[in-house]
Amino acid sequence: MSSNADGAAGDPSKPAAAPAPTPQGVLRLGPYEYGPHQRLVMAIVNRTPDSFYDRGATFTDAAALDRVEAALAEGADLIDIGGVKAGPGDVVDLAEELRRVVPFVAEVRRRFPEAVISVDTWRAEVGDAVCAEGADVLNDAWGGWDPGLAAVAARHAVALVCTHAGGVEPRTRPHRIGYPDVMADILARTVHGEAERAAALGVPRDRILVDPGHDFGKNTRHSLEATRRLGEMTATGWPVLVSLSNKDFVGETLDRPVKERLIGTLATTAVSAWLGARVYRVHEVAETRQVLDMVAAIQGHQEPAAAKRGLA
């Protein structure tokens, strides 16, 4: 009698075995290579006067450069520079976004030549300009709204973050948005859609990341489900980036204002690390680094920084 690989021969009531996860490979960002168990911290540097979190604290060049220096000292692996607030607000046209980020990227590259620089933009023109000044990563938080951005990443051979945003227009909030299956939509649009499209355009596969897009085109329940099912994304083999820091889904879940969301953010960070996410876009670098190191040690991927108890 023949049998199926999952041992459920002739019994349709038993589900088929889930496919084995695709092994995680090397991730390349700038000149660096990162192994499958390395967890990277991406520090947020907002070049905006109206950020939901810091309210313009790093809008000036001097403050933003201080932030870069402090984030690197605290253990950040990447710096993510953004010139446009994600949510609704004053119009920031192409010329203004270029003014806010291009000279700053050039200065960061000059002052911190070993830093990995990411730029948060959905515009191909901005991507092209910052890559010319030394950016290593293009962080497209709006799901390929400008299809030319992936082509820019391919032309410059830089890394690209492909994010699920549910097809919503940049800088808009979702209104009564729904999905029959939110993770299925994330996988279809981002993993099988934008990431594969970027690879076909010539972006090196080891420089493509996927992001479930917490809060982007989603309500709080969608973001919680995306976190709970993050293992389905990491099982595809594409490196997963999560942007969780102080977001509305954390605030609504715990009923906390923006400045009181750190504990919820770190809890979500620990769960995401356990499920295999590899890059974490954050405001609080040092706290995130400690959480990631603790999870890595529990998983057996990292040795304790000090091990003295019971040994003397």
List, by residue number, the catalytic residues: 247, 281
Comparing CA positions, the residue from 190, 188, 100 lying closest to residue 150 is 190
Q: How far apart are CA 163 and CA 140, in angstroms?
A: 6
What residues contact residue 39 under an 8 Å CB cut-off, 6+ apart?
273, 277, 278, 279, 280, 292, 295, 296
Distances (CA, A) of 15 to 51, 136, 183, 234, 235: 47, 44, 20, 22, 19
For residue 127 the two structure tokens come to 């991507």
Q: How far apart are the C-alpha atoms of 146 and 311, rounded to whole Å? A: 58
d(CA 234, CA 55): 33
Which amino acid would we find at residue 130? V
Nearest in space to 209 (alpha carbons), one of 283, 139, 262: 139
CA 66-71-75 angle, 5° bins:
150
